[in-house]
Structure formats: C-alpha cells, structure tokens
Structure 1
Amino acid sequence: MEHKIVQDGITFDDVLLIPRYSEITPESADTRTQLTRRISLNIPLVSA
C-alpha cells in the first residue's frame, strides 16, 4: 500500500448557502435528481 490517494473533503458543516436575488422563479426551477437512466426523483438531492 505505497500509493495512497488522499484528498481534502468537506462536510455539511463546512458549507454555508447564502440566499441572493435571482431571476429564476421557484415554479420554473427543475429540482429532479437523476439516479439512473430510468429512475428520477422529484426531490432536489439525495442525502449522503
């Protein structure tokens, strides 16, 4: 095991989303998540 791949990672506590002005209205946003070619979810993300 000489060659290890080590990368920095972030967690949910490391990210801060700040709301800003946008021209996009909520009803026009597509929040689906594509899991596979045949499976899509009508939610914005898949939990870690």
Structure 2
Amino acid sequence: MRDYSPGQRGKQGYRYYTPLHLAILWLAHLLVGPFTGLALVSSYRQLVKEI
C-alpha cells in the first residue's frame, strides 16, 4: 500500500493540497495578480480535462 500522508511526496506528483501548498498558491496569486492567477487556473483546468 502506498502512503499518501501529507509529508510524503509521490513520484507521480501531488494528488492533494496541503495547507502549505495552499499558502504558496495564495502568495503566488497575490504576486502575479488576480487576472493572471485566474488565467493560469482556467488553462490548468483545460489541461486536466484534456488528459
């Protein structure tokens, strides 16, 4: 069984969001600005849908 605990990094990437990730995303959102952040999120969602 694989361990997906918050401190464990999987080789397949992150399949979950920890408070640290949310904080980093929030800081990046403030840095790049709301509109750029929304554009990144929308493009990311389109990428996920294609996969």
TM-score normalized with structure 2 length:
0.28
Q: TM-score, normalised by structure 1?
A: 0.28
Say which structure is richer in helix: 2
Larger RCO: 1 or 2 (CA < 8 Å, sep 6+): 1
- Normalized per residue, the structure richer in strand is 1
- Between structure 1 and structure 2, the one with the greater Rg is 1
